[in-house]
Amino acid sequence: MPTNLDRYERIAPFYDWLDLSFEYSCYRRIRPLLFQSLSGRLLDAGVGTGRNFPFYPTGSYVVGIDFSPAMLARAKRRTSRSTAALIELEMMDVTALDFPDQSFDAAVATFLLCVLPDESQVPALRELGRVVKPGGTIRLLNYVRPRGVVLGALAKLWQPFAAWAFAASFDRRTEESITEAGLALLDSRYVVYDLIKLIELRSAKP
């Protein structure tokens, strides 16, 4: 059975093409929500092919991490499409970040937690909380299982391909893992129907 890394190494050359309709019909509208009022040194966990680059705050210093060399190679081609002061790209697993405690002013993750298996939710969230300064913001964009009949049926049809290609699921227990990871939930709201949520967290210990 292929690992998550195997999947992303395989799909990297086609990732942007497969995602194109979603990117321009939906994602580009909601990506800026991740970065509202953020500044300083930021972590972009699961940076992928660098689709967030155009939305980084002007003058910020961003470190983008991903566990796939093939995805990072494609991201490097996009570094000029940003007004950030500096973008560094590192190969790294979000469940074991190679950064000192409190290294970042804030962190974001775009559709990363819905890819990680349930047993990795707490370790990933705990690591994000560890490397962000006390009181710093952690924002996630995450797919969830739709409650409506139509979107629920579409999600059911889409799930086999999403799992095969991206290891993604609509049923990850991300919000249930927040307290165990030592984080406090500040906000959780739908930003695309009842399908995509923006989740905002902060360290439970100021």
Domains and CATH numbers, the chain: 4-203 (3.40.50.150)
Do the beta carbons of residue 97 and residue 120 sit within 8 Å? no
pTM of the model: 0.96
Cβ-proximal residues to 37 (8 Å cutoff; 6+ apart), any chain: none
Percent pLDDT > 70 in the chain is 99
- For residue 206, what pLDDT is reported? 58
Cβ 82 vs Cβ 109: under 8 Å:
no
Q: What is the mean pLDDT of residues 129-144?
A: 97
Rounded to whole angstroms, the Cα distance separating 117 from 187 reads 23
Q: What is the pLDDT of residue 205?
A: 64
